Amino acid sequence: MDITVVIDRFEGDKAVLITQDKQAISWPKDKLPQKAREGTVLEINIIDSANKTKGNKQLAKNILNEILTP
């Protein structure tokens, strides 16, 4: 899922990001692109880590099978 946000303002070491449906997200300033400024449009990609974990486990099994199979 991709979420489009705009940097609304900075408050100390946090940035306030506003979503398209006007929700505010507090985000660490140091986790933004270096040249990000107020008004910068960003995309946040959210993934289901369970699927990623499952894929990582399968990859590890495949590698072990290659190593251990004569």
Give pTM, 2 decimals: 0.67
Q: Please tell me the predicted confidence (pLDDT) of residue 50.
A: 67
Q: What is residue 1's predicted lDDT score, i.e. its pLDDT?
A: 85
Q: Please, are residues 64 and 56 in contact by the beta-carbon 8 Å criterion?
A: no
> Domain spans of the chain?
2-68
- Other CB atoms within a 10 A radius of the CB of residue 15 amount to 24
The CATH classification number of 2-68 equals 2.40.50
Q: Give 8-67 pLDDT, tens digit per residue.
A: 999 999 999 999 999 999 999 999 999 999 999 999 988 777 666 777 788 888 888 888
How far is it, in rounded angstroms, from Cα 1 to Cα 66? 34
Range list of H helices, 1-70: 49-68
The predicted structure's pLDDT at residue 47:
75
